[in-house]
């Protein structure tokens, strides 16, 4: 085993982030037991099987399948720091939110909650497509079947670790190959098309990271199957663009309706007007509105 720790900002709640990771019992890419998270992380030529805990304001990481001379811990540290969004300074967001009728109570109630991301861009885009227009439970069922069928699996210490399928693996599939998993024809086609875009080097995490927010959004939307919602989701979850905002998101609409005690859902224009106050912090405003549901 190899162990190391990662210090966290004051405005970080491990418990709130764990709540998010526990949102579905069907989640296959990590497991949680006794407050610890177990997750496989792909390095260049090694799959690190990690145990992540929390103590004394530090994230405690154990690489279960590495020895004391393990040298790639800094890659895992970077992955986990991105995963829990440790680099974002939330002080300005909280200062803004404290003076907002919708957000003030939410930031008090869920203080320290951060965007639990998806550092892998292909996973982020594919998962966004898989989960569209179906309930969350069935979305996780499809994800579970997809990962079990085409992903990587390793068993260690009585725990099963999985990795999301790679673009190379998925690009080899035909549209119909996902239909037995109960993917719709359209979703099956789009997931394969997204994988091919990576394999053909039309898109990569590294190339998108160099672009401005609008350029990045347009580049992602040039991929067949990636619309505005999916692009914004990936820009929020993978790249931490603070202004990523899925305007048409039903969860955001329901949260505003509930918090404002409206009889009907707000129009897109009404949602846009609400979010004008959150300029520069749209992603975190979205996160806390989702958390209110």
Three-class SS of the chain: CEEEEEECCCCCCHHHHHHHHCCCCCCCCEEEECCEEEEEEECCCCEEEEEEEEECCEEEEEECCCCCCCCCHHHHHHHHHHHCCCCCCCHHHHHHHCCCCCCHHHHHHCCCCCCCCCCCHHHHHHHHHHCCCCCHHHHHHHHHHHHHHHCEEEEECCEEEEECCCHHHHHCCCHHHHHHHCCCHHHHHHHHHHHHHHHCCCCCHHHHHCCCHHHHHHHHHCCCCCCHHHHHHHHHHCCCCCCCCCCCCHHHHHHHHHHHCCCCCCCHHHHHHHHHCCCCCHHHHHHHHHHCC
Residue 217 pLDDT grade (very low, low, confident, very high; cuts 50, 70, 90): very high
Judge if 76 and 149 occupy the same domain.
no
pLDDT at 166: 98
pLDDT at 161: 98
pLDDT digits (tens, 9 = 90+) for 167-184: 999 999 998 999 999 999
Residue 264: which domain range? 107-116+245-293
Judge if 31 and 138 occupy the same domain.
no
What residues contact residue 24 under an 8 Å CB cut-off, 6+ apart?
136, 137, 140
pLDDT at 175: 85
To the query of whether residue 249 is one of the catalytic residues in this protein, the response is: yes
Residue of 72, 175, 177, 249 with catalytic role? 249
What is the C-alpha to C-alpha distance for residues 29 and 79, in angstroms, rounded to an integer? 14
Judge if 78 and 220 occupy the same domain.
no
Judge if 65 and 132 occupy the same domain.
no
Judge if 211 and 168 occupy the same domain.
yes
| 67 inside domain | yes
Q: Which of 237, 256, 276 is the last residue of a domain?
A: 237
| 93 inside domain | no
pLDDT at 135: 94
Split into its structural domains, the chain has a count of: 3
List the CATH number of the domain containing 26: 3.30.310.20
Judge if 217 and 128 occupy the same domain.
yes
pLDDT at 233: 97
pLDDT digits (tens, 9 = 90+) for 7-42: 999 999 999 999 999 999 999 999 999 999 999 999
Judge if 125 and 233 occupy the same domain.
yes
List the CATH number of the domain containing 229: 1.10.340.30
pLDDT at 51: 98
pLDDT digits (tens, 9 = 90+) for 130-165: 999 999 999 999 999 999 999 999 999 899 999 999
pLDDT digits (tens, 9 = 90+) for 53-93: 999 999 999 999 999 999 999 999 999 999 999 999 999 99
pLDDT at 252: 97
pLDDT digits (tens, 9 = 90+) for 224-263: 999 999 999 999 999 999 999 999 999 999 999 999 999 9
Judge if 125 and 219 occupy the same domain.
yes
| 223 inside domain | yes
């Amino acid at each position: 085993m190899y162990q190391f720790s990662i210090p966290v900002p004051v405005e970080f709640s491990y418990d709130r982030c764990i709540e998010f990771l526990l949102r579905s019992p069907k989640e296959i890419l990590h497991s949680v037991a006794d407050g610890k998270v177990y997750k496989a992380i792909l390095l260049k030529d090694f799959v690190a099987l990690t145990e992540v805990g929390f103590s004394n304001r530090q994230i405690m990481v154990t690489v279960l399948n590495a020895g004391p001379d393990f040298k790639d811990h800094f890659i895992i540290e970077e992955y986990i720091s991105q995963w829990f969004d440790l680099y974002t300074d939330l002080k300005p967001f909280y200062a803004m939110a404290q003076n907002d009728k919708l957000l003030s109570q939410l930031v008090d109630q869920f203080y320290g909650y951060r965007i639990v991301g998806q550092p892998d861009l292909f996973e982020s885009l594919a998962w966004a497509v898989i989960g569209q227009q179906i309930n969350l439970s069935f979305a996780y069922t499809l994800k579970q079947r997809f990962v079990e069928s085409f992903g990587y699996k390793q068993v260690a210490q009585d725990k099963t670790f999985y990795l999301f399928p790679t673009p190379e693996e998925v690009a080899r599939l035909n549209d119909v190959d996902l239909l037995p998993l109960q993917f719709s024809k359209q979703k099956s086609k789009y997931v394969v098309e997204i994988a091919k875009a990576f394999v053909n080097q039309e898109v990569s995490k590294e190339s998108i990271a160099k672009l401005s927010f609008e350029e990045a959004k347009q580049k992602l939307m040039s991929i067949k199957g990636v619309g505005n919602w999916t692009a914004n989701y990936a820009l929020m979850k993978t790249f931490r663009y603070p202004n990523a905002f899925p305007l048409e998101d039903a969860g955001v609409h329901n949260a505003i309706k509930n918090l404002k005690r409206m009889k009907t859902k707000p129009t897109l224009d009404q949602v846009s007007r609400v979010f004008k106050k959150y300029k520069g912090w749209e992603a975190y405003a979205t996160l806390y509105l989702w958390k209110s549901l």
